[in-house]
Amino acid sequence: MVDIMEYSKIGSIEIIVGPMYAGKSEELIRRINRANIAELKVLAFKPKIDKRYSDDSIASHNGKQVPCIPVENTEEMMAIIQQETFDVLAIDEIQFFDEAVIEMCQDMADAGKRVICSGLDLDFRGEPFKVVPPLMAMAEHVVKLTAICMVCKNPATRTQRLVNGQPAKYSDPIILVGAKEAYEARCRNCHQVIK
């Protein structure tokens, strides 16, 4: 088995997925910090719409942070990438990016870069986010984390959206950036969506 750090030498895609509150951003931050210790140059991004804890840092729910560049879309990220020298490309909240991010990640890995992404694999409906399944299939290393279900305390694989304390409707918009006021982790059995 090849150590994750060894992928830095050959180009790779790593993706960290799971529901909210599973520690995805925390694991991404841990990997960024390890890359920094290994004296690898890291270029980190997140979507501009994620301003929950910081405008210009990847931040975990427990307060850990690393600096990053907030961008609107993949095109803006590519414009920055083309002007930078780096070893590791880190992207938080990958599910919020357009489908061009898939090809960009593949191209970066093919060019010998270590690409590390984190994000939700399922939306609040329990359905796959469009860009995440292809990245999981292309990745050399996939980590699927679980949280704790806030109803039954079993392992949670879903993100429950709540509106005034009640499950969201299936017809509600897919994208709604929020934290504990709007979301909680749930297991398959406790996850609910109003049809």
CB distance 105 to 119 below 8 Å: no
Dihedral angle, C-alpha 45, 14, 127, 191, nearest 10 °: -90
21 — alpha (psi -120 to 50), left (phi > 0) or beta?
left
**Residue corresponding to tokens 């292809």:** 134
Q: Which of 39, 93, 140, 181 is catalytic?
A: 93
Which residue stretches of the chain are H helix? 24-37, 74-81, 100-110, 132-138
Largest CA distance in the chain: 50
**27 given a catalytic annotation:** no
Residue 38, both tokens = 């290994």
Length of the chain: 195
Q: How many other C-beta atoms are found inside a 10 Å radius of the C-beta of residue 17?
A: 26
Catalytic residues: 93
